[in-house]
Structure 1
Amino acid sequence: MNRKIALTLAVPLLLAGTYGAWHWWSVARFEESTDNAYVEADITMISPRVEGHLAAVEVVENQMVRAGEVLARLDDRDLRAKADQARARRDAAAASIANIDSRLTLEGALIRQAEANVASAQAEQRRAGADAQRYTALAGREFASQQKLATTQADAQKAGAALAKAQAALVAERDQLSVLSTERSKAEAALQEAKAALDLAENDLDKSTIRAPIDGVVGSSGARVGQFVKAGAQMMSLVPVQDAYITANFKETQIGRLRVGQPVELTIDAYPGLVVTGKIDSLSPASGAQFSLLPPENATGNFTKIVQRVPVRIALPKDGPLAGRLRPGLSVEAHVDTRQQGRDLIGIAKADITIPQQVAVRP
């Protein structure tokens, strides 16, 4: 009887052992797994870029929002007044330039008038000089009186003085043109400064309306109407649940066979019985301990070796059964099938790795 019972038990045990050995040989020995894995997402902290009192909060906790939707509004009366003030300064600077342009147009006409006066004075000087020369010759022959000679000579001197006066006026008008050109350049700089101030004021006014930068779910909202908020203070968080991914912390003894693109079977504690297939997306450039607040210093005398863990990012399918349903922080178990080689995690092909040959040393 005992022999029959033993034989009866030995057969299923033998079959189970055979199946276990076959499963280990064909599957289990190629699998790396860890339960130190969690759902994560690139959470965006929402902060105002200008300070002020909250006039309205347009969203509530756990609300799904789209990029560009209004989350909150600040009281913008002061900012609107500053924008109007900057706009008035811009208009005044533009009017100043228009006034200078009008003066430049007038100055051009005055310069042409001064040039005409110079031409007239030159003609008068030539006439008076010619008369003076003729009467000088006639007076030398006593065909003209000395009084007439003196009069023509005085007229020639007066014509020369008038020409000098007209030429000086022309130079002054041209100098005034240079002064106006300089004033216009200064006014243009003032206009650019006023435009920049207006842009800043309008930007601050636009910043009083706080919008969602990404699609996501509102969380950790502490915004209340009437609350005074400072620039940079956290008001709420946006969680892009649709772009959630898995971070699995594998032991350093497990990452040797992990490659980008290898399939990963994921089981989430929140959804028992459901298996999701993802792919390895990337490997952290350092172990998790190196990014901690106080990284370990292994050069100390009390060194104790501890197996380190390296974060591995696992991408989830966009159209998977849990798309949009995962929440950061959920626990996950990850199982990687290393039979598929994928791509090297550090981006170095095996063919590029050269192994130095041993050099034989002669005795």
Structure 2
Amino acid sequence: MADLSDQQNGGTDTSGDEHDETPAKAASPAKKRRIRAILLVVVVVLLVVGAIWFTRYQSFGKFQQSTNDAYVQADSVIVSPKVGGYVDKVFVRDNQYVRAGTPLAQIDSRDYTARAAQSQAQIGVAAATAQGVEAQIREQQAAITRAAADLASARADAAFARSEVARYVPLAASGAEPRERLSQLRNQATQADARVTAAQAALTSAQRRVGTLRAQIRQAEAQAEGAQAQLAAAQSDVGATLLRAAIDGRIGDKTVRVGQYVQAATRLMTVVPVDQLYIEANFKETQLGLMRIGQPVTIEVDALPGVDIPGRIESISPGTGAQFSVLPPQNATGNFTKIVQRVPVRIAIHADPETRKLMVPGMSVEVSVDTRSAKGARDRIAREQEKHNESIRR
């Protein structure tokens, strides 16, 4: 009986295995169909995504030129004194916002004020000298009048003496008058002519003396003009002792202190025009083919991740950064290794006031330029160049 039950149990187990294998065989093709369907959907989705990406790349993506070699810049003004001296006052604090014309610092002006007073005194001396010489000229005019009168008198005497000689010549010849008298008259006529010559020389000397005095006036006037120039320079130095802001901006890099002695052209502080920020982006030369002034730019500041700031290309540098470096590369000497050059591009920022407050010069940014507006330029350049080549070959 036990054997019979075992056989029955064994038969039962065998039939159970046969029943389990049949659904497994039936379920395998359905599972494969589901897998194939899933794979097909995945492939279709990938093809659709790829087609969308390719279409977007062809119409948009390949025209985007980006770089992270870009920084916020501002045309800052370095504040330096024109004259040297001890700093008397400092009117501003670090990072303070100032308007153009705001006093920044005061240098002790006493030395320059004294120089201005000295120049003013020299002007007074020159003016007094000129007035004294003019008085001498007026006196000399009287001397000229007297010399002219003396000359007229001497000429009259000489004329009378000559007439007497002429009258006595026939009388002496006839014996009516002695010859000694004629000799005396001739001697008097000679002396009268000499007096005329002397009076003429005195008149000429007096007249030339006026020219000498007028030259002295011109010399005094020249000295006055020189002193006036020195006064203007001294007054300019006095005005230069008060340093004012040339532009609106914030004070940065302030190193000046009260009591400090500063030389001319010493850097005291910097005025940063925070309202006139721009981006200087250094693009590779291979990225510039389609870049044009006025193209839109998307700016992302590292300090504001996820915030896109609009901008536009304002200008493109006329040379690479290496060309304007202190020591430009000399590729004609030594071994040559080609390096992709970078060209600075200036980008105007169109940010709202709140965003501008968070941006300062030196910040790193990433920019992307949309060059679609010039997408046909490369083909046009190629065609024009081909036409030019044809004209040269002809």
TM-score normalized with structure 1 length: 0.83
Matched, 1:225 2:237: no
Q: Distance in 1 between matches of 2:164 and 2:129?
A: 51
Q: Which moved more, 1:110-119 or 1:49-58?
A: 110-119
Q: Which moved more, 1:118-127 or 1:326-335?
A: 118-127
Equivalent residue for 1:250, pick from 268, 271, 283? 283
Q: Distance in 2 between matches of 1:90 and 1:350?
A: 74
Q: Which moved more, 1:141-150 or 1:318-327?
A: 141-150
- 1:262-312 per-position Cα deviation (integer Å, ceiling 9, x unaligned): 111112222334322222122223332344455445456665443332221
Q: Which moved more, 1:124-133 or 1:84-93?
A: 124-133
Equivalent residue for 2:68, pick from 23, 35, 46? 35
Q: What is the DSSP-based 3-state SS (H/G/I as helix, E as strand, rest coil) of the residue aligned with 1:165?
A: helix
- 1:42-69 per-position Cα deviation (integer Å, ceiling 9, x unaligned): 2222111111111111222112222322
Structure 2, unmatched stretches of 5+, are 1-30
CA shift at 1:170, angstroms?
0.6
Q: Distance in 2 between matches of 1:179 and 1:269?
A: 80
Go from structure 1 to structure 2 and tell me whether the alpha carbon gap of 1:318 and 1:18 turns closer, same or farther (over 3 Å shift). closer
Equivalent residue for 2:159, pick from 115, 119, 126? 126
8 Å contact kept, 2:123–2:228: yes
8 Å contact kept, 1:317–1:323: no
Q: How does 1:156-195 map to 2 (within 5 A)?
A: 156=189, 159-195=192-228
1:339 aligned residue: 372
Partner amino acid for 1:75? Answer: D
Partner amino acid for 1:356? Answer: N
Q: Which moved more, 1:174-183 or 1:293-302?
A: 293-302
1:62 aligned residue: 95
Go from structure 1 to structure 2 and tell me whether the alpha carbon gap of 1:326 and 1:125 turns closer, same or farther (over 3 Å shift). same
Partner amino acid for 2:78? Answer: M
CA shift at 1:82, angstroms?
0.8
1:49 aligned residue: 82
Q: Distance in 1 between matches of 2:76 and 2:372?
A: 34
Q: Distance in 2 between matches of 1:352 and 1:309?
A: 25
8 Å contact kept, 1:63–1:217: yes
Q: Which moved more, 1:323-332 or 1:149-158?
A: 149-158
Q: Distance in 1 between matches of 2:119 and 2:382?
A: 60
Q: Distance in 2 between matches of 1:170 and 1:350?
A: 92
1:212 aligned residue: 245
Q: Distance in 1 between matches of 2:336 and 2:163?
A: 115
Q: What is the DSSP-based 3-state SS (H/G/I as helix, E as strand, rest coil) of the residue aligned with 1:218?
A: strand
> Number of residues paired by the alignment?
357
The percentage of counterpart residues that share the same residue type is: 42
8 Å contact kept, 2:316–2:346: yes
Matched, 1:94 2:127: yes
8 Å contact kept, 2:165–2:189: yes
RMSD: 3.5
Q: Distance in 1 between matches of 2:168 and 2:340?
A: 123
Q: What is the DSSP-based 3-state SS (H/G/I as helix, E as strand, rest coil) of the residue aligned with 1:177?
A: helix
Q: Distance in 2 between matches of 1:61 and 1:341?
A: 46
8 Å contact kept, 2:91–2:103: yes
- 1:60-79 per-position Cα deviation (integer Å, ceiling 9, x unaligned): 21122223222211101001
Partner amino acid for 1:117? Answer: D
Q: What is the DSSP-based 3-state SS (H/G/I as helix, E as strand, rest coil) of the residue aligned with 2:365?
A: strand
Go from structure 1 to structure 2 and tell me whether the alpha carbon gap of 1:318 and 1:97 turns closer, same or farther (over 3 Å shift). farther
Matched, 1:22 2:55: yes
Structure with bigger helix share is: 2
Asked which structure has the greater CA Rg, the reply is: 2
Q: Distance in 2 between matches of 1:205 and 1:274?
A: 50
Q: What is the DSSP-based 3-state SS (H/G/I as helix, E as strand, rest coil) of the residue aligned with 2:322?
A: helix
Partner amino acid for 1:127? Answer: F
